[in-house]
Amino acid sequence: MPGIRWIIIFSGFVASLSVNGQETDPGPGYQMVLMNNPALSGSEGSGNLRLSYLNFYPGNGYNLHSVYLSFDSYFQKLHGGASFYLAEDYLGGSVNNIRGGFSYSYFLQAGEDLFFNAGLSFSFYHQGYNFSNSVLPDMIDPLSGVVYPSSEALKPSGKTVFDMGTGFTFVKDWLSGGLAVLHLAEPDLSSGGTDKEIIHRKLFVHLCGDFPFGKTDKLYARPVTYLSYQEKFLIGGGGLSVETENIAINAIGMGDNSGNINLQTGFSVRAGFVTFNYTYRFNIISGNSLMPMSLLHQTGLAFSLYDVDKRKSTKTINFPKL
- 8 has pLDDT over 50: no
Residue type, 85: Y
**Per the domain annotation, does 49 fall within a domain?**
yes
**Per the domain annotation, does 165 fall within a domain?**
yes
**Per the domain annotation, does 320 fall within a domain?**
no
Q: Report the distance separating Cα 198 and Cα 187, nearest Å.
A: 6
The β-bridge partners of 124 are 100, 162
Task: List C-alpha distances in Å: 237 to 53, 183, 186.
Answer: 22, 22, 25
151-172: pLDDT as tens digits: 545 556 678 999 999 999 999 9
**Per the domain annotation, does 321 fall within a domain?**
no
* pLDDT range class, residue 95, cuts 50, 70, 90: confident
**Per the domain annotation, does 249 fall within a domain?**
yes
Those residues with Cβ within 8 angstroms of residue 137's Cβ, 6 or more apart along the chain or in another chain = none
**Per the domain annotation, does 231 fall within a domain?**
yes
* The total number of structural domains that make up the chain: 1
123-138: pLDDT as tens digits: 999 988 776 665 555 5
**Per the domain annotation, does 312 fall within a domain?**
no
Task: List C-alpha distances in Å: 151 to 2, 140, 237, 287, 293.
Answer: 16, 12, 46, 37, 38
Q: Report the distance separating Cα 203 and Cα 179, nearest Å.
A: 7
What pTM was computed for the model?
A: 0.83
Return the CATH number at 14: 2.40.160.40
Residue span of the structural domain in which 74 resides: 3-307
